[in-house]
Structure 1
């Protein structure tokens, strides 16, 4: 199909993409409804509309080569600079334990869902891998696994539609658990009690605006961040390609090892974790890594909306919704049953599950919105730990299922 802007008109495509991402971020930080939808999803929807009305092409060098090839890999080491493993282990306490229980639930949900829906959805093992990473870590892991398994753009878009519908239902259920008399009867809830006794109110701005508050950043910060990301990706690509050439793929075990150790994203995660843990003071002195990395991720979400066919999304999304919803239900069962067995507080269980399914920002956002101020830091940290392990576990699950 011919488009108003040709695939070779890179500057015009770049202008439209950057304008769409800027509009998405503005809406997310200005309006409560957009904050709940998220700027990333708004960027995807804008791209989907522009393609399906004939403004943008479904493929272009800017989308396929620049954003996928450079912006996405560079985003991940910048976002993982928060993954200080020593701090995560020291400060998260019991919440980390229930988070790991929930991670096991996510994996079981992915395997069970693939067994049930595998014959109904083409490419489901790849979806299982992406959603395992996403429902243990977050969007960072989803991006890495989508690229690692070379997932078709329409399948990625359909999965995101299903995922966001699942998330909307999930957050409503999770908030219902917090206020439900049944859960309050069977779980301790000291933070809820403290908020109700103090009469604490919510702040009047969107969670996105509160989270992305203005910070000082210098030219040196930008230079160091970009240099760091480029070096980590270059080194990771070299290590991954070298090990992929060394490890044979003669049987399923060696093939899984080849896939795992040959993935650049495994090494991007590992190197970033080492830097964040052992050079934490140096990392803390540099501003802007999370902002730059998140901007690159927004570009990615716009680009994955580009090859999306609305008819295929409508056909695939309902089954994918059932698959994603099953994974979420199994995660919640693991968290609540495990939490009851080990006598966790209701707030720890809810936030740990949220950190699994939604990631660190939604977990911290929920803690902020509920007034559980002492749990904001731990929920952010366990969610960041999910970023560290999500890609590894996603690759293992995808390899087991034949993705």
Structure 2
């Protein structure tokens, strides 16, 4: 039975206009209004798309959405990794990187623990474990990559996104509140908080998204290189992954895991881009606009995953998924706070690293700006960028591991 909607599934131009228009509107709202910045443009786009679909304005299934999954998502990943120079990340953000990796281990432990607690209640939970491990080590970019890697219904992905973002909203509230809680102020070092205690909140905190995405110079050459190189990286990675996936056998646990890793195009995209960014830093580091274009493409993806989210599915499925996401985040936070305290990391470093884990570089930088922790803005961005790289490895490893346990 063909779905009856105001915009027909074969009206490609109208659907692309709606997808890109919602993405643009979400970014505008996020950068203009404090309430929208707190909600995040990704959630705004998802909710608008969900409303349009539930009110039968746009279809829930169309080849246009498949194009976003098949082409837009893979292209976004290398664009967001052009600045992933491993040498620079380590040199300029060593302390944050160390505690960030510790937080990543906490995320993986939480994903495994949650899996064993809830696997009898949530079908195909190992796939969601891989997705959320990747997401809670590198942010939404890794969620996108892992969602496309693990074959799962779009309805469940939408429900997971809703659960994930509700969980993150609660988590960010807790994270922002921790510096003012006496227990943490008493038991952790916090030099930046002490330094700013006499200073009021920075004006930039009112428009965190706008501060992060400030204007920069960009040329036609920048745009051409960003798009052209990304297409080349994805084409090579897709071909290589298909070849490796076909020649590596799956006779035992080790080979099956190796096949899942080396036969994954997102892992190859990540690795190839990282190598290029590290060994050709002057070239890739000077391509302006790559992160902006890549982020806009990710916003289109968030609009698309909001489309098939039925209200009934969210009510019936999201509570357990919310619990699973909460388990991961709680273990991440407890683990990173415990190890951070043990090795005498500052409270600000621990919180920014945890934010980089769960939300990615954008939310971590936004928090550093909002709190006035200026020395941690760049480390937050660099650590979060590292998360784009290692999050995919962790996510695919955990998903494949749990699938055969």
Q: TM-score range by the shorter chain?
A: over 0.9
The corresponding residue for 1:11 is 13
Say which SS state the counterpart of residue 197 (structure 2) adopts: helix
- 1:167-246 matches, cutoff 5 A: 167-199=168-200, 201-203=202-204, 205-246=206-247
Q: Could you say what the CA RMSD is over the residues aligned between the two structures, in angstroms?
A: 1.3
Cα distance, 1:311 vs structure 2:
0.6
The corresponding residue for 1:294 is 295
Cα distance, 1:224 vs structure 2:
0.9
The corresponding residue for 1:20 is 22
Alignment length (residue pairs): 402
Q: Is the Cα contact below 8 Å between 2:201 and 2:370 reproduced in 1?
A: no
**TM-score normalised by the chain length of structure 2:** 0.97
The corresponding residue for 2:45 is 43
After the TM superposition, which of the residue ranges 207-216 and 136-145 deviates more from structure 2? 207-216
| Unaligned segments of structure 2, at least 5 residues | none
Separation in 2 of the partners of 1:24 and 1:266?
A: 29
The corresponding residue for 1:146 is 147
Cα distance, 1:82 vs structure 2:
1.6
Separation in 2 of the partners of 1:284 and 1:247?
A: 35
Q: Deviations over 1:363-402 (max 9, x none)?
A: 1111111111111111111111111100111000000111
Say which SS state the counterpart of residue 54 (structure 1) adopts: coil
The corresponding residue for 2:59 is 57
Q: Deviations over 1:103-135 (max 9, x none)?
A: 111001000001011111122111111110011
- 1:153-172 matches, cutoff 5 A: 153-172=154-173
Q: Deviations over 1:219-273 (max 9, x none)?
A: 1111111100000000001110111111011222211111110010011000110
**TM-score normalised by the chain length of structure 1:** 0.97
The corresponding residue for 1:331 is 332
The corresponding residue for 1:318 is 319
- 1:279-290 matches, cutoff 5 A: 279-290=280-291
Say which SS state the counterpart of residue 8 (structure 1) adopts: coil
The corresponding residue for 2:381 is 380
Q: Is the Cα contact below 8 Å between 1:202 and 1:371 reproduced in 2?
A: no
Q: Is the Cα contact below 8 Å between 2:205 and 2:370 reproduced in 1?
A: no
Q: Is the Cα contact below 8 Å between 1:202 and 1:370 reproduced in 2?
A: no
Separation in 1 of the partners of 2:314 and 2:342?
A: 41
Cα distance, 1:199 vs structure 2:
4.8
Separation in 2 of the partners of 1:354 and 1:387?
A: 14
Separation in 1 of the partners of 2:166 and 2:189?
A: 30
Separation in 2 of the partners of 1:36 and 1:397?
A: 31
Q: Is the Cα contact below 8 Å between 2:146 and 2:395 reproduced in 1?
A: yes
Cα distance, 1:59 vs structure 2:
1.0
Say which SS state the counterpart of residue 82 (structure 2) adopts: helix
Say which SS state the counterpart of residue 172 (structure 1) adopts: helix
Cα distance, 1:204 vs structure 2:
6.1
Separation in 2 of the partners of 1:16 and 1:146?
A: 22
Separation in 2 of the partners of 1:342 and 1:261?
A: 35
Q: Is the Cα contact below 8 Å between 2:26 and 2:42 reproduced in 1?
A: yes
- Structure 1's 201 and 304: CA in aligned 2 closer, same or farther, altered over 3 A? closer
Separation in 2 of the partners of 1:208 and 1:201?
A: 14
